[in-house]
Structure 1
Amino acid sequence: MAAAKIKKGDRVIVLSGKDKGRTGDVIQSLPKDGKVVVDGINVHARHTKPSQGDPQGGIKRSPAPMPVSKVAHVTADGKATRVRFEIRDGKKVRIAVKTGEVING
């Protein structure tokens, strides 16, 4: 399996779909499924009945997983960039293709 180019905590921009152009932070990465969960993006609503655990019930909104191919890493200037790997000082690091800077994490 290839290394994950998008990881938890990364700032990403949505490339296609209903949330195209919006940015957010990755709150969960699912590399086996090829999906990521981005805070405030791809939000789905679930209607719940009142229960003992949740006496109020109502509409619960939460972000759903989306394909990692539909997001791209965001550089400091707010533009999308691809990610590549390089060996620097004996460590494998992620590099932003557009700027050449090292991505933390």
Structure 2
Amino acid sequence: MQRPEYLALDGHGLEYSRQALTIGELPLEVRAAALEEATSTIAKKTGLVAVKRIPFGAPVFTAFADMNRPKAKHHSESELLLVTGDDVPLGYCPSYD
């Protein structure tokens, strides 16, 4: 699936069009499916067990068993585990890769 166009702002506050880069830049109706895909992909990458879908506005680590903020900070994929679901890059969603 092709990434949708997203209206972003440049350094001067002017709008420009580019492809969506994160789940939060997707249309509302496809975000849940993208979060499902990202959850599976991140589980495989990190070796963690997903217990629910990554929440849109909560940190990624909250979707995984026995994971909390201190553990996430010391995980080899800490940078990814500490972002919120809306900031997960679309590279973790096979449909948009």
Q: Same fold (TM over 0.5)?
A: no
Identify, as 1 or 2, the structure richer in strand. Answer: 1
Question: Relative contact order (alpha carbons < 8 A, sep ≥ 6): 1 or 2 greater?
Answer: 2
Q: Which has the larger radius of gyration?
A: 1
Identify, as 1 or 2, the structure richer in helix. Answer: 2
With structure 1 as the length reference, what TM-score do the two structures score?
0.28
